[in-house]
Structure 1
Amino acid sequence: MDLSLKGKTALVCGSSQGIGLATAIELSLLGARCILLARNEDRLKAAVALLDTTSGQTHSIETADFSDVAAITKVAIAIAAREPVHILVNNTGGPASGPILSATATAFTDAFSQHVLCNQALTQALVPGMILAGYGRIINIISTSVKTPLKNLGVSNTTRWAVAAWSKTLATELAPHGITVNNVLPGSTSTARLDSLFKSSAAARNVAPEVVATEWLKEIPMNRFGEAHEIAALAAFLAAPAAAYITGTSTAVDGGKTPVM
């Protein structure tokens, strides 16, 4: 099985921590040169030092805030002008929790901009280089909510569905070029995002975060939360030559929690 990414460059979004950083680490272990993109420069500097360099690759960082589509577009265009990017990992922090009925219009438009529009800007800038290079992988880290909505995540559920529809459409358009587009759907994963969801849910119910965590754990057949590197493993495989005929998919990595196929 060909899993080597030597000679390939990957742009990994939201890679200063959590699943994004774990994905960059896995890609570097397969030989890829990684460009880490996030808003916090200090965290990025610490993160890039964790990447593997045994294949002789050098890694770099770029800073931009995903709340600013223009800034993301500017960075993407600059990277594309400098070098071809073979692998794009779209990964952005989820919208705040809360019921959909109480969500404001701004919450929806901000989330759509942060996820769909930034993904679109990055893709438009980088796909021409993928076509010229004869190699392209676009991997979107979304959520199992695209299979079944999650409680108290109204804006997130809606936005993630939009990303999934965008991705499926893009997969069909890019297939003739041999560029694949796939979605990785993390379940409850031990990250700062999960901790924040526990705290916000607990505050709304006036209970301890540990109570919420215990309730969520009971819904997972494997009886544990996922680890970031377990989500990253699927992303790394989808980026590899071995996954060349896999496109337009949405695969859950959730310990069996999602109740649908």
Structure 2
Amino acid sequence: MDLQISGKKALVLGASRGLGAAIAAGLAAEGVKVFAAARSADKIQATDNIVPVAVDLSDAASVAALIEKLNAEGGVDIVVNNSGGPKAGPALGQSSESWVAAFQSMATSIFSITDAMLAGMIARKWGRVITIGSSGVVQPIANLALSNGVRAAVAGWSKTLASEVARHGITVNMILPGRIATDRVRELDGIKAEKTGASLEAVQEASRNEIPVGRYGKPEEFAAVAVFLASSQASYVTGSSIRVDGGMIRGL
């Protein structure tokens, strides 16, 4: 299938590893010029279609510098908002500083970047905004209060924005990953193992038993959904939150 996005330009945040890296590679394989952004941009290998860009989503000045650079390049057609998750912890006792910091890096920054790129998309009558969320939006994950709270706010923003820009040929969607085999998930499994006294292998086996397909997902499987949402064929899909979780979430 020709996804009809060769020659488009994309920004992928959090592109140095995990889901972001897989999405950047998937878009590049379709002929998209990808600005692959991350704090550790030096870890991203430049190719003909991948341009590493440094950004710290927790730093407003760094976000502003990224926006300026992208505007100088004529903007992008596809924005993939992929912010790292905050530290684990309960809702009870979280400081206001922790909430503000999490909202800045996971919400305010991507709102600002997306808003800045939308002017060009509107002018071109074509655009894609894809935001990576979490299954915690549907079913809150224990001990991830900051992520559950902030990503729920991002889901509300995404749904609202979808209605506002649809008439301009712009789609806005979220993808909700389940247990995908990334460094972040391994870190969370390690934290759970340490907290419960179980082995890492036991924690992972328990998680696999809760997933109908019986395994963790592969980053490239998740990326394939993002690449499709970025395509011209997905032009009638907007305002959606699509789960890529192997059937883990039991709710309708």
Q: Which bracket does the TM-score occupy, shorter chain normalised?
A: over 0.9
Q: What are the equivalent positions in structure 2 for 1:26-175 lying under 5 Å apart? A: 26-44=26-44, 46=45, 48-49=46-47, 53=48, 58-175=49-166
Distance (Å, rounded) in 1 between the aligned partners of 2:197 and 2:89: 15
Q: Which runs of 5+ in 1 are unaligned?
A: none
The aligned residue for residue 8 of structure 2 is: 8
* 1:177-208 alpha-carbon deviations (Å, 9 max, x no partner): 11110001110010100111011112222222
Q: Quick one: percent identity of the two aligned structures? A: 40
Kindly state the Cα deviation for residue 114 of structure 1 after the two structures are TM-superposed.
0.7
> How many residue pairs were aligned?
252
Q: Secondary structure at the match of 1:194?
A: helix
Residue 180 of structure 1 is matched in structure 2 by 171
CA contact (8 A) 1:184 1:252 kept: yes
Contact 2:24 / 2:50 at 8 angstroms: preserved in 1?
A: no
For 1:126 and 1:89, locate their aligned partners in 2 and report how far apart those are by CA, in whole Å. Answer: 11
Structure 1: distance between partners of 2:63 and 2:96: 23
Distance 1:236 1:142 in 2: 16
Q: Which residue of 2 aligns with 1:226?
A: 217
1:170, 1:181 within 8 Å by CA — same for their partners in 2?
A: yes
SS in 2 for 1:252: strand
Work out the CA distance in 2 between the residues paired with 1:73 and 1:120. 12
Normalised by the size of structure 1, how large is the TM-score? 0.93
Task: Supply the RMSD in Å over aligned alpha carbons.
Answer: 1.3
1:21 aligns with 2:12: no
Which amino acid in 1 is paired with 2:24? A
Unpaired segments ≥5 residues, structure 2: none
TM-score if structure 2 supplies the norm length? 0.96
Structure 1 position 249, deviation (Å): 0.3
Contact 2:130 2:226 in 1 (8 A): yes
- What is the deviation of 1:171? 0.6
The 8 Å contact of residues 178 and 245 in structure 2, kept in 1 or not, is answered as yes
